Structure 1
């Protein structure tokens, strides 16, 4: 059965060599859903469509829904559920220990464990706060879009526990699922400064490193603890890429500075987790017969992974972009800029002592710091100051950060804000299917295998490799069924095609991975090509491997 296809109107402008088309693929064969969690007599059959080519460059996005469902009749038996030896919650279907009844806590999530109580024996007599960011830590995360999705764990469930945990004189209550939530000693506000002689070196070590953390292979081998929260789809991420990309293939030099502040470390229990009732019910409704559309909806709503460990805190980073010709005329080196940036941060001390310790001239550094303040002047050797601040959620601090180099006083103010409003900056994650165990789900092995298969398909469907190339080294971003281009400064238009620059070098970008080869000798392989676009006019080749091999 076919849902049909829709194509948007074709539009072509000067300097654009790729047409935008919104296209929907054909749906899968009909599949039965099985007994719904709402009624043992509710049966559905459905079909889905897969995105084959997103719209771009004024093309219309897909208008039709990518899933249809309708009632059906079947003779198949209803799916059995895991036997509960305790109390079955009325609405959520959760199974809780009977000792938790009438204890004043909402252990069921629907308060049915607190209904019809003759006496309530409260475990906790005093009010206690929730850990910072505990709601986000309980959420699923989509590692392909680097975003939080719906709740998969219930961190408001305490299992009857009520031991207070004090952090900064605040009393917290530890959730049942949490193994540890340890505060970190606030350290010194120091910047790690790194010099880059070219944009390619800067991009390889700063920009590409961040983006590649979320381009997982089908084996989903995830690094230990990695940075989280850099989203190419949000304004902060786009602003950073747009402002730094414009210096690609120029003679600019880069000084990147970064300061990390850790507030707390979080670790999840490894087993016997209490799932959030919304996630529990959705997984119980998944069909045992594989149907990609239903499993895809689960990933869209609850993410692809969940957080097992995390570092909470803040990151303050800035990038100074220097004009090499102006530096040479003024007889400055990148090391001079490095030393002066350090000196500018330590202005709380006597000027002469700071500069003497760093081995640089006070007059030289005053000139550099003045150049940074006057960077909008066309003749300035400081071409840009690009700042990113995470954690703290302080508009005042952020406003100051974008104006000038950070001072010790500003960093202290930012650190105080981070202490009570930390961001999740690093995580360790596991695939969502690891939460599907025989404790909560009948036929758990079948559902788990279906989720693994669907995750591979989902990765292909949400990858920006489906987008046509953007001009001028613009970065394509796929949002639902439409591709947008993040254009470097100096480039405009739907495809970054409008610019006054001539013969701009174009860096190579990878196309999508091929399908896996059949398993042979215990291995399977896949390939990709550096042609989306290929390197042009002296542009850089694609970074990373052109093939992958996995055991099978």
Structure 2
């Protein structure tokens, strides 16, 4: 143990005596080599330009400058690959209820890492002549009216001036009738989106599941200001008295127009999440993004400016669906009616792809409010406000004067400048 310690001290003393430690920058690293693979995680190496000269030997550079080679991973993204599908199955027997035959094929491997997939469909059908009878039991509406599309509606809804069946068969040959609502009413904003399906798999809205244009002959209304809205049969209630708080108003400062445009593009590509009982719908349309950016850049070139973006999710209404007796959409019913009696996985799973896995039982509708302030940099510097103070003032102005949200404490400093 003592001899090992003594030898270690001798080596250490030889290395540092007289300040003779090796300066490794005398032997610089070379460039990284070409990656061994163009994708799928390759390796790249580089080495020191070692010259075993007198300096190298005297200063123990072999010890201090070790290792002399380095490696690192490169091109770690997976290699792009096209999708791969299996062969078509044989044609199914002729379905007597839809007079069609069906076939399908499996997706063996999806396209990955930007690969292309030329396949447009995994299912196919063709008309046929059935040699059997359709065994679906016909709808028995008892004391109700049987619509041409198979729906049953109350007799009182026939010839009431509204298309309660959805296909117009309840109004065929009818005389004009006085409308159910004597006053001028409007549909609730975004009422169709309230009836949309929702996919828990993708977190996105899907096709119309509930028909919120059906009123069941009733004139149940809700008011907002001077406007009167008619409540669909599927909705239990809707409220326009939604509190908007200033706490979630977000402010972002940009040093120039290019930074703002880049940030806006990134936010467009960023996904959003949703849930089956709370969601936002963007009600306020905006101009084409590319033309907006072009106009924005053109305007900003006229002066040296900085920009402040204020944005907030603004709630407009809260709604709640009925728990029973819901009126399904015609689109969903037609899709279900077109399914073959014999179970076919690709065709049946298409229902979930088109209409989602859930529908909304309650939620909040609203929109995204965005406003961008442009400030002359020179004027701002002479005003006495720094960038942080200016951003706070822009937020307070938007909250109070545009969003009409009361603020607890106003800043005299903002109004003076």
Give the TM-score normalised by structure 2.
0.56
1:116 aligned partner = 173
Q: 1:66 aligns with which of 114, 122, 131?
A: 122
CA deviation map 1:95-138 (0-9, x unaligned): 11111111111112222212222563532233210001001112
Q: Secondary structure at the match of 1:312?
A: strand
CA deviation map 1:343-381 (0-9, x unaligned): x9xxxxxxxxxxxxxxxxx98x825457x8xxxxxxxxx
The reply to whether residue 87 of structure 1 matches residue 145 of structure 2 is yes
2:49 aligned partner = none
User: Structure 1 residue 34: deviation in Å?
Assistant: 3.4
The reply to whether residue 158 of structure 1 matches residue 215 of structure 2 is yes
Paired residues of 2:105 and 2:122 also in contact (CA < 8 A):
yes
1:24 aligned partner = 85
Partners of 2:367 and 2:162 in 1: CA distance:
33
Paired residues of 1:190 and 1:259 also in contact (CA < 8 A):
no
Paired residues of 1:213 and 1:226 also in contact (CA < 8 A):
no
The reply to whether residue 47 of structure 1 matches residue 93 of structure 2 is no
CA deviation map 1:169-217 (0-9, x unaligned): 21111111110111124444233789xxxxxxxxxxxx9xx97966xxx
User: Which structure would you say has the larger Rg?
Assistant: 2
1:270 aligned partner = 323
Paired residues of 1:24 and 1:62 also in contact (CA < 8 A):
no
CA deviation map 1:56-100 (0-9, x unaligned): 45633133532111344443643223312211223x332111111
Q: How many correspondences in the alignment?
A: 279
Partners of 2:229 and 2:164 in 1: CA distance:
18
Q: Secondary structure at the match of 1:293?
A: helix
Q: 2:345 aligns with which of 264, 279, 292?
A: 292
Paired residues of 1:94 and 1:277 also in contact (CA < 8 A):
no
Segments ≥4 residues shifted beyond 6 Å: none
Distance 1:415 1:48, change over 3 A: farther
Partners of 1:259 and 1:267 in 2: CA distance:
24
1:107 aligned partner = 164
Task: Tell me which of the two structures has the higher relative contact order, counting C-alpha pairs closer than 8 angstroms and 6 or more residues apart.
Answer: 1
Distance 1:35 1:261, change over 3 A: same
Distance 1:33 1:405, change over 3 A: farther
Partners of 1:193 and 1:117 in 2: CA distance:
56
Distance 1:261 1:212, change over 3 A: closer
Q: 1:366 aligns with which of 386, 389, 398?
A: 386
Paired residues of 2:280 and 2:366 also in contact (CA < 8 A):
no
The reply to whether residue 96 of structure 1 matches residue 96 of structure 2 is no
Partners of 1:228 and 1:292 in 2: CA distance:
33
Q: Secondary structure at the match of 1:190?
A: helix
Distance 1:17 1:103, change over 3 A: closer
Within-5 A mapping of 1:378-527: 406-411=394-399, 415=403
User: Structure 1 residue 44: deviation in Å?
Assistant: 1.9
Partners of 1:144 and 1:176 in 2: CA distance:
29
The reply to whether residue 309 of structure 1 matches residue 367 of structure 2 is no
> Structure 2 regions of 5+ residues with no counterpart?
1-36, 40-73, 252-266, 283-287, 290-309, 374-382, 405-417
Partners of 1:175 and 1:277 in 2: CA distance:
15
User: Structure 1 residue 265: deviation in Å?
Assistant: 0.7
Partners of 2:329 and 2:361 in 1: CA distance:
15
Q: Secondary structure at the match of 2:186?
A: coil
Paired residues of 1:93 and 1:281 also in contact (CA < 8 A):
no
Within-5 A mapping of 1:7-22: 15=75, 17-22=78-83
Distance 1:46 1:263, change over 3 A: same
Q: 2:186 aligns with which of 104, 107, 129?
A: 129
Distance 1:28 1:271, change over 3 A: farther
Q: Secondary structure at the match of 1:179?
A: strand
Partners of 1:369 and 1:32 in 2: CA distance:
74
> Structure 1 regions of 5+ residues with no counterpart?
1-10, 37-41, 195-206, 215-222, 237-256, 319-343, 345-361, 373-403, 417-552
Partners of 1:20 and 1:185 in 2: CA distance:
49
Partners of 1:229 and 1:32 in 2: CA distance:
44
